[in-house]
Amino acid sequence: MPQTLLHATQISHHFDLELYRNVELKLESSRSAAILGRSGSGKSTLLHHFSTFLKPSQGRVILLDREIYTLKDAQIEKLRRYELGIIFQFHYLFKGMSAMENIEVATMLAGEEIDEALLEKLEISEVMGQKISELSGGQQQRVSIARVLSKKPKVIFADEPTGNLDKETANLVMDVLLDYIHINEAGLLLVTHDEEMAKRCDESYRLEEQRLERIV
Ligand SMILES: Nc1ncnc2c1ncn2[C@@H]1O[C@H](COP(=O)(O)OP(=O)(O)OP(=O)(O)O)[C@@H](O)[C@H]1O
Ligand SMILES: [Mg+2]
């Protein structure tokens, strides 16, 4: 039985200007969805609403059966630590630590083990001993993806996870993310500018003229 992981209803938001209104989105287990849209249309902001980081001006976000903006800080903290995998547009790795140490911090906090096969699949096993500052942008991106998946999250929010990658590596990252959600009955919500990556997802949306439209 598929489980509804995320259900957002009637989401509207404005900073100075209105970004979007009446956004609806549902994500079920073992499913992937992509959000496309021009730079500045509000894709990252939407992802922040869905992933507990920013309360929308209006609307409700139900994540794993919890209405997140009514929860206490400690409950949000727990949700983030154990259930959510958030791959930010700009990766937040500890620069002075090695790739392996970065992954260890996340797995320890979540009470999980490091998955060596995952590092192999992402083609970063060889660089695990190196400091983050010595890695290429694309290697850092893959380390941050490995770090997130090592936590074994139920819902993955990924903001341009393949942004810095060549096509072959981008496809490899998509393979890893899609395999992960199928094996773990998790869900993936992806923001991307890359139509080809969006096509690999089960569903696609476009954020345009302040509306989120389902296109596939
Ligand atoms: N904290 C904030 N305070 C005020 N305005 C903000 C804030 N965060 C984002 N914005 C504005 O909201 C708009 C949408 O930003 P957002 O980062 O969501 O766009 P995006 O679709 O992710 O763009 P990109 O494709 O370039 O990443 C932008 O005009 C941005 O300047
Ligand atoms: Mg963005």
Crossing angle of helices 99-110 and 137-150, in 10° steps, is 20
Mean of all residue pLDDT scores within the chain: 95
Check: CB of residue 45 under 8 Å from CB of residue 204: no
> What residues pair up with 61 in beta bridges, in sequence order?
8
Establish whether residue 125 lines the binding site of ligand 1, counting it when its CB lies within 6 angstroms of any ligand atom.
no
CA-atom Rg of the chain in angstroms: 17
0.85 exceeded by pTM: yes
Residue 88 has pLDDT above 90, yes or no: no
Element holding 176 (H helix, E strand): helix 167-184
pLDDT digits (tens, 9 = 90+) for 151-197: 999 999 999 999 878 999 999 999 999 999 999 999 999 999 999 99
Q: What ligand is nearest to the CA atom of residue 38?
A: 1
- Angle of the 167-184 helix axis to the 137-150 helix axis, nearest 10: 0
pLDDT of residue 163: 85
Closest by CA to 186, choosing from 50, 62, 7, 5, is: 5
- CA–CA distance, 116 with 119 (Å, rounded to integer): 5
Q: Which atom of ligand 1 is nearest to the CA of 45?
A: 18
Domains of the chain in sequence order = 4-214 (3.40.50.300)
* Ligand that lies nearest to the alpha carbon of residue 88, given by its number in the listed order: 2
Give the pLDDT score at 92: 82
Alpha carbon nearest to ligand 1 atom 26, residue: 39
Pocket test for ligand 1, best of 13, 20, 44 (most atoms within 8 A of CB): 44
Ligand 1 atom at minimum distance from 48 CA: 18
